[in-house]
Amino acid sequence: MFSKVLIANRGEIAVRVIRALDELGVASVAVYSELDRDALHVARAGESYLLGGAAAAESYLNVERILDVARRSGAQAIHPGYGFLAENAAFARACEAAGIVFIGPPASAIEAMGSKTRARELMRDAGVPIVPGTVEPVETLADAQRIAADEIGYPVAVKAAGGGGGKGFRVALAPAELKDAFEGAAREGEKFFSDATVYLERYLPDPRHVEVQVLADKHGTVVHLGERDCSIQRRHQKLIEESPAPMVDDELRERIGKIATDAAEAVGYHGAGTIEGLLQDGEYFFLEMNTRVQVEHCVTEATTGVDIVREQILIADGEKLSFSQDDVRLHGHAIECRINAEDASRNFAPAPGTIAHYREPSGPGVRVDSGVISGTEITPLYDPMVAKLIVWDADRERATRRMLRALAEYEIEGVKTLIPFHEAIMASEQWAAGETCRDLIEDKAWLKELAFEKVETGGEDEPELEERTYTVEVSGKRFEVVVHGEAIAAAPAGANGARPAPRRERSSGGGGGGGGDTLASPLQGNVFKVLVEQGADVEEGALICIIEAMKMENEITAHKAGTVSELAVQEGGSVTTGDTIAVITSPASE
Ligand code: MV4
């Protein structure tokens, strides 16, 4: 067994890998950027090395520096986690060339699955059902128009070949929409993957995202660990995952399990991997393969009892899988909620800031995988996912109640998170019925109700009112008293026993928005597109502009209805957190 392993990642997944290494008796080596000096993964590892500046290119994507640290520290293997270098075939090869084991699949499998057209062709040839469409790139708009009309039919999906995870994914419901979809997908492919190649698929109107976890060793054994349903997504970011999938029975599980192991065998896979697919009306179609451990692997760990990260390390070390397909048994139901520093009520705007108070839930059937502690700063430079809350119970209904209990126990102050969103979804009829909840996630009015409590003030001159919760005891009985009053400047949490009620972050916290008429930027980035003109009348929630940050497009919407009396951004410009984007005045305040 390796004696020392380097983790080329940060946050919760780095901590997750360190835990597996600890249990195996393997020393861990962390790497970090200048922004992460005080990060949990650094403190948690056996030894830690600075990579470079905050930007990922200088730190977690800096191949030379990472390999140099591996050599200096004597690490024999590198675990890439997810994101960053996890699906970078050149990195896997560079590790090999340096005599270091890459804890992941062969570079050839990463490469084959990295090109979505190549993957579709390979899967089709292996007898794996793919979404009907092209396996060759579609070169021109004219070709796309012909193929969509004659071979696929509308609606049609246009996807970037270098893509994945929904990046470079556009839909044309009718021929008139194909030009925009084709050009949009190509542009995004070029931007994200330096590859403008696109292909076409039939667009399935209301599928479920169902994926199968596989494990393959280097001796030809491939098993699957059942499926996960990840249909609750926002802008192709998964928010909630569960296992087993509500719509998959034993027969279907066996069928899609076979599809997944066939797919893995067809690319000579080893390690942990996921076959992503769409399930519609009992039909299952291969979408893409993720050649890494995924964020949501924990729900599978809960239902199978298999430690997927430990298996990755054992497989990389050349061990045979210690169990067969028949040994894999599913028990109960697991749900994962991603705890992102985002404000669902503001169109899921990033909500960076410093965690002032932090306390995780625990108790039966609860697991928290987190990369943060009290005092951790959530920066817009890295992933907004700060933790994952996973629960397990005997069935879906009980797991849901357990999730609600655990969410209520979770205390995070100083940054806004998706906790209120998860509480609302878990309490919804749609979730109870096993629906995909797309109607809720796309319902602006519903999301708006998740707004973090803030007492509205009349005009800008009035002092800002704030809600504070005090605990009082009357004749020995505890009461929580909510007081509405003027904000107390910089009152430390806990002073005089006055601490805000758990979780409900109040007025401040970097969520943006500014006061009154001012719409402030919640994040730093470049203004990609401006969708209104000065003087325009807008509805609340109207799209004002799109700010690109870390290659993500963030939609900034009007915080109130009114007239755009001032527009402070222009396309191509840049903004930092707190900058005024626009001033929206309502008729009454003019
Ligand atoms: C699709 C689709 C419909 N038809 N492809 C791609 C990436 C992943 N994040 C979701 N993707 C989809 N690909 C075709 N041909 C619909 C989606 C999709 C989706 C699927 C299931 C559950 C939720 C979804 C949310 C957005 C998009």
The model's pLDDT over 167-217, given as tens digits with 9 standing for 90+, comes to: 899 999 999 999 999 999 999 999 989 999 999 999 999 999 999 999 999
Tell me how far apart the 2 most distant CA atoms of the chain are, in Å: 80
Going by their DSSP bridges, the two strands 27-33 and 47-52 should be labelled as parallel
Mutate to test the pocket of ligand 1, among 120, 152, 204 (most ligand atoms within 8 A of CB): 204
| pLDDT for 104 | 98
Give the position, in ligand 1's atom list, of the atom nearest the Cα of 164.
7
Residue 135 dihedral angles phi and psi, to the nearest 5°? -110, -10
- Percent of the residues in the chain that have a pLDDT greater than 90, as a whole number: 81
The DSSP 8-state label assigned to residue 427 in this structure reads T
The model's pLDDT over 294-336, given as tens digits with 9 standing for 90+, comes to: 999 999 999 999 999 999 999 999 999 999 999 999 999 999 9
Q: 277 CB under 6 A from ligand 1?
A: no
| pLDDT for 501 | 42
Q: 441 CB under 6 A from ligand 1?
A: no
Three-state secondary structure string covering 272-326: EEEEEEEEECCEEEEEEEECCCCCCHHHHHHHHCCCHHHHHHHHHCCCCCCCCHH
C-alpha to C-alpha distance for 519 and 567, rounded to whole angstroms: 10
Q: pTM value? A: 0.84
The model's pLDDT over 11-54, given as tens digits with 9 standing for 90+, comes to: 999 999 999 999 999 999 999 999 999 999 999 999 999 999 99
Identify which has the larger pLDDT, 462 or 316: 316
| pLDDT for 553 | 75
Please say whether the beta carbons of 34 and 54 come within 8 A: yes
Average pLDDT over residues 95-110: 98
The model's pLDDT over 109-126, given as tens digits with 9 standing for 90+, comes to: 999 999 999 999 999 999
pLDDT bin (cut points 50, 70, 90) of residue 522 is: confident
Amino acid at 89: A
Identify which has the larger pLDDT, 51 or 553: 51
| pLDDT for 495 | 39
- Sign (positive or negative) of CA dihedral 33, 42, 89, 5: positive
- Write 106-113 long-range contacts (CB < 8 A, 24+): 106/268, 106/269, 106/270, 108/267, 108/268, 109/267, 109/268, 109/269, 109/270, 109/273, 109/291, 110/291, 112/267, 113/267, 113/288, 113/289, 113/290, 113/291
Q: Is the pLDDT of residue 460 over 60?
A: no
Q: Is the pLDDT of residue 426 over 80?
A: yes
Report the 10 Å Cβ neighbour count for 95. 25
| pLDDT for 462 | 57
Query: How far, in Å, is the centroid of ligand 1 from the Cα of 200?
Result: 13
Mutate to test the pocket of ligand 1, among 159, 233, 286, 435 (most ligand atoms within 8 A of CB): 233
Give the position, in ligand 1's atom list, of the atom nearest the Cα of 236.
9
Q: Is the pLDDT of residue 504 over 70?
A: no
- Sign (positive or negative) of CA dihedral 296, 302, 305, 307: positive
Angle of CA points 244, 249, 250, to nearest 5°: 100
pLDDT bin (cut points 50, 70, 90) of residue 513 is: very low
Identify which has the larger pLDDT, 154 or 494: 154
Identify which has the larger pLDDT, 59 or 522: 59
Q: Is the pLDDT of residue 556 over 50?
A: yes
Which residues are CB-contacts of 64 (< 8 A; sequence separation ≥ 6)? none
Please say whether the beta carbons of 343 and 402 come within 8 A: no
- Crossing angle (nearest 10°) for helices 116-125 and 107-114: 100
Q: Is the pLDDT of residue 499 over 50?
A: no
Q: Is the pLDDT of residue 485 over 70?
A: yes
Q: Is the pLDDT of residue 263 over 50?
A: yes
